[in-house]
Amino acid sequence: MILQNFYDNIAFLTEHFRPRDLLDIFLVWLVVYRILILIRTTGTLQMLSGLGILAIVYLSSIWFELFTIHWILEKFFGNLFLIVVVLFQGEIRRALAHIGSNPLLTGDTRVDDSQVIEEISKAAQSMASKGFGALIVLEKEISLEYFIEEGTLVDSEISSELLISIFDPSSPLHDGAVIIRGGRIYAAGCFLPLSKNPILDKNLGTRHRAALGLTEETDAVVIVVSEESTTVNVVYQGKLDPGLDLPKLRKFLFDAFDLKPRSEVNRS
């Protein structure tokens, strides 16, 4: 009987299947794939876990007839769409920006050379020891073309010496940000949007606010070298990781771009 039902279902699908259904299935697959990537690369997993726990409590309130908690959660889930938009507004904004700059939704990153990360890390630590302020942006999947247009085109190979010279206080480009694209110093003197988060620490300087503002809107990784505290900080997905030494900075960047240090690649 079960086998007969299976064959009947297959026959029904074969009879009613249309070529456009392939496109429908493909689009659904793309959406699900991007959602899974978004969950993996952001902090949304914890919030989704929280929503899952509330859903379990809601179902339990029905089973055990807990009328008060059931009424509260019923009102909560009745406005779930609005709640999701508020909770995940940063992630939704980045996802829409990614779709706009990469309609095929591919997952390739822009930095693909471990030597690039080594040079950037050395430059950041050297500038911190010299008391130079710096703002280094590493482009990922979302295009930063708008901010590049506001700066000065450089399009040069990356070296720690060149980065240090750009952010030397005597350089005319030291106040802006450097944008790294495709493993090259693509532009310098770029200006970034300041964060609009009202609960930020008031002691944060303009560079930190600009780094947070950019990462709230894009998936870029931003290195901030503070001239006041002579520390190296990384901002990614709207979150600040302060005071990274050279090994931690290298590890953060390798992880952010799913790369391995060249020494590990050679050993494997």
pLDDT per position as a tens digit, 193-221: 898 887 888 888 899 999 999 998 888 99
- Going by pLDDT thresholds of 50, 70 and 90, the confidence category of residue 7 is low
Rounded Cα–Cα distance for residues 250 and 244 (Å): 9
Question: What's the pLDDT score for residue 84?
Answer: 78
List of E strands, the chain: 134-138, 152-157, 177-181, 184-190, 221-225, 232-236, 239-241
Q: Which of 188, 177, 189, 170 is nearest to 223 (CA)?
A: 177
Question: What's the pLDDT score for residue 91?
Answer: 65
pLDDT in tens, 228-265: 889 999 999 889 999 999 999 999 999 988 887 765 54
Find tokens 């390798």 and name the residue.
Answer: 254
Question: What's the pLDDT score for residue 159?
Answer: 94
Question: What's the pLDDT score for residue 157?
Answer: 93
Rounded Cα–Cα distance for residues 103 and 20 (Å): 20
- Going by pLDDT thresholds of 50, 70 and 90, the confidence category of residue 109 is very low
| Of the candidate ranges 2-11, 60-69, 154-163, 235-244, the one whose mean pLDDT is the lowest | 2-11
Set out the domains of the chain in order of their start, with CATH numbers.
2-101 (no CATH), 114-267 (3.40.1700.10)
Question: What's the pLDDT score for residue 184?
Answer: 92
